[in-house]
Amino acid sequence: MAVTFYWYPNCGTCKKAKKWLDDQGVDYNAIHIVEETPSKEQLLSLIEQSDLPAKKFFNTSGKKYREQNIKEKIADASTEEMAEILASDGMLIKRPIVSDGEKVTVGFKEETFQENWG
C-alpha cells in the first residue's frame, strides 16, 4: 500500500526524505503541499493519527510563520483553530508529512523514517 507524501519540491529536507523513500523502494503518492494544501479536516485527521501536538505541524522556521506572527496566534489556540490556520497556507505546514492512514511522521529524521516506513 502506498503512503501519502506531502512535500514541497524546493525544500531540501523534502528532497532528502523523497530520496530515502526512493532508495528504500517505498511506494508513495506525492502531493505538493502548497498546490494541494490539505484541508482543515485532513489536517485534524493527520494531527490525531500522529499523536503529536498540533503545534508540531507548524513550519516555525518559515518566513510566513514569522511574518504573520503565528507563534502569538497559536499560543492559546485550540487544535481546531490551529488546523484552520495551517489549511490557509501550505507554506505554514512543517514538511514533509508522510501518512499511511494510521500513522503519521512530520519532518525528516532517518531513524524515524526507518522505524515507520522502512
The residue-averaged pLDDT of 14-37 equals 98
pLDDT for residue 1: 75
Identify which of 33, 35, 23 has the alpha carbon closest to the alpha carbon of residue 57.
33
Residue 6 pLDDT exceeds 80:
yes
Residue 15 pLDDT exceeds 80:
yes
Give me the chain's average pLDDT, please.
97
pLDDT for residue 13: 97
φ/ψ of residue 54, rounded to 5: -55, -30
Q: Which domains does the chain have, with CATH numbers?
A: 3-117 (3.40.30.10)
pLDDT for residue 47: 98
The residue-averaged pLDDT of 33-62 equals 97
- Give pTM, 2 decimals: 0.95
